[in-house]
Amino acid sequence: MPREGVTIYDLLISCPGDVTGYLQLIKEAVDNFNKLYGSLNNIQVSIKHWSTDSFPESGDKPQELLNKQIVRECDAAVAIFWTRFGTATDNYGSGMEEEIEEMLSADKQVFMYFLEAPINPSNIDIKQYEKVQEFKERYKDRGIFFIVNDESDFQRLFTNHLSLYFLKLISEKETYQNENIKPFVTIRDKNTLSDENVLPKQFSLLESKFINEKQSKINEYIDELNSTVISEEADILEDKSKMLTMPSKEDANVDFLYKIADSVAISDKFKYTINDFAKENQIKLHENFWYLGNLMKHKLQVQITFGNSGPSYIGSDKEKKRFSKLNKLYWEIISYKEYI
């Protein structure tokens, strides 16, 4: 039966045809969030997708009709790119890009992900893939997207991001309400005849064992990273392109695939978050704290017939381990900040 006082947030799903299999993962993540947190906090996240929530209508361009029917009414969006960018609209490179811009221009949340899963080279539309990479390049400094490697990676990240975002909304809403509502109940000590009310003692989560343990774990990560920095004088890999695991040159797209590896760098968003924590806690980071040596990453993992896909990262074990540890440090700090 309907519950009074329930706040419903509409979540737009925006994705091209090559990632439709991820729709079910999004639905499962939203369902789990509603079961775990929705009922307890009187909120519900409701997913919206053009295939189920649009209807036949005339009088305007198809994408503009979708914008009016669904996009502009949504409170947040989740977008996934892989190798396809979509069909161009009158104003943007694809319907997805237009939907993302509609949300961002309205200051609404966009959960954006780029998938780097293995794919058969013969299934790649080079022009479409290049458009995805161009779009990714344009948005890289806006700090609004994440890289995922497979379904489990996406499900883990999206579930975490969904919870962090909406639980923060719940917390802000409750704080506002508590500041404006005066208590109806007072507390009196039953063991005294005094008419004076007992003042409840405020509990500070910042002083709890839970928070102290989380902070200690972050400090341990930083100590380890400070003590295991990579020297900038490390030997340079002679020819990184030779390390790319590629199929036979018989494929027409192979020349394109040889070029798809980039140097790995820590994003400005990660640096700001970690630097901010270090400054607040008076921790000095080593001058080579962010240096990852010669670590490189495939832009696209390639499926090889009768074989395994090539490695995601190209570099030494030390470089890979450091990159992984920096990522873990970032997410530990994000988790810690949700409680303070």
Chain mean position to CA 167: 15
Q: Cα angle vertex 177, ends 174, 179, to 5°?
A: 110
* Structure confidence at residue 52 (pLDDT): 87
* Structure confidence at residue 305 (pLDDT): 45
Higher pLDDT, 41 or 79: 79
Give yes or no for residue 247 having a pLDDT over 80.
no
Average of per-residue pLDDT values in the chain: 80
Q: Domain spans of the chain?
A: 7-170, 205-337
Give yes or no for residue 243 having a pLDDT over 50.
no
Give yes or no for residue 185 having a pLDDT over 60.
no
pLDDT, tens digit, 9 for 90 and up, residues 286-322 = 999 999 998 888 665 555 444 444 446 788 889 999 9
* Structure confidence at residue 337 (pLDDT): 79
Do residues 94 and 87 make contact, with C-beta atoms less than 8 angstroms apart? yes
Give yes or no for residue 139 having a pLDDT over 60.
yes
* Structure confidence at residue 234 (pLDDT): 52
User: At residue 141, what are phi and psi to the nearest 5 degrees?
Assistant: -90, 0
- Which CATH fold would you assign to the domain 7-170? Rossmann fold (3.40.50)
pLDDT, tens digit, 9 for 90 and up, residues 69-127 = 999 999 999 999 999 999 999 989 999 999 999 999 999 999 999 998 888 888 889 99
Radius of gyration of the CA atoms of the chain, in A: 25
Average pLDDT over residues 10-33: 93
Percent of the chain whose predicted confidence (pLDDT) is above 70: 74
Higher pLDDT, 335 or 175: 335
Give yes or no for residue 218 having a pLDDT over 60.
yes
pLDDT level of residue 260 (50, 70, 90 thresholds): low
Q: Please give the Cα distance from 13 to 110 (Å, whole number).
A: 10
* Structure confidence at residue 299 (pLDDT): 62
